[in-house]
Amino acid sequence: MPTDGRLRSFVLRKGRVTSNQKRALVELKDKFILNKNIDLEMSWSIFPSALDIGFGAGETTIHLAKSNPQMSVLGAEVYLSGVGSVLSQAEEEDLDNIRILHGDIVPFLEDKVPDDCFDLILMFYPDPWPKRKHHKRRLLQKDFISLLNKKLKRDSIFYFKTDWTHYFQEVRRLFEDNKDWKIIEKQELDDYLIDLPKTSFEQKALNSGEELNELALRKVN
């Protein structure tokens, strides 16, 4: 149980970390990893314009940074091998417009990120916590949506995908009932968002024939 008593949206898995990921974690830590205990504006001289929450193996974080050199991209992940993988890809692609929060995005957003910061937040295939008794661990709930609203600028985009129909329906209902957001068509998104690569979880879901659901929203208030 965490010391602040809050339920976490993740369970820390040991998972295998490859030797290349280990090397990247050691050699590139100072360049890319933010100190989660200090304010974002103290650790990165520019404000990030995009946030990728729970990036897994990092396909989307890398794509955002690579296809938009003018964009500054913050990726958040608790999973060590995912962080190692994204660092190694950032080095390979020679990307300087990327920083990583290795840890829980919730307290960081609450305490260390200024309001009206981002133009875009992605949350793809968040842990679904399928059992009813675990639904309260799901990240996307009313309070977290309010937090996202505070951290996004007006007219910015929140883009969510999941292969869990129940989770999708709950989230869609929360947004439909909320005047601060407008559901938009995928075609209204910029091309680099329409052309995003498939993430590992997306590919797994496709391979097992799951239905994929997505919701694109504009913050209107």
Q: Residues 124, 158, 159, 168: which binds ligand SAM (CB under 6 A)?
A: 124
Choose the catalytic residue: 94, 127, 155, 180: 127
Distances (CA, A) of 25 to 17, 63, 80, 156: 10, 20, 9, 32
List C-alpha distances in Å: 46 to 35, 42, 118, 197: 15, 9, 12, 26
**Single residue of 159, 202, 215, 216 touching ligand SAM by CB under 6 A:** 202
Q: Is residue 163 near ligand SAM by the rule CB under 6 A? A: no
**Which one of 48, 75, 82, 84 is in contact with ligand SAM (CB under 6 A)?**
82
Q: Is 119 exposed, middle or buried (0-12, 13-18, 19+ CB in 10 A)?
A: middle
Full DSSP string of 86-104: HHHHHHHTT--SEEEEES-
Between 47 and 76, how does the x/- string for binding to ligand SAM read (CB under 6 A)? -------xxx-------------------x
Q: Is there binding between residue 127 and ligand SAM (CB under 6 A)?
A: yes
Residues that bind ligand SAM (CB under 6 A): 9-10, 54-56, 76-79, 82, 104-106, 124-127, 139, 199-202
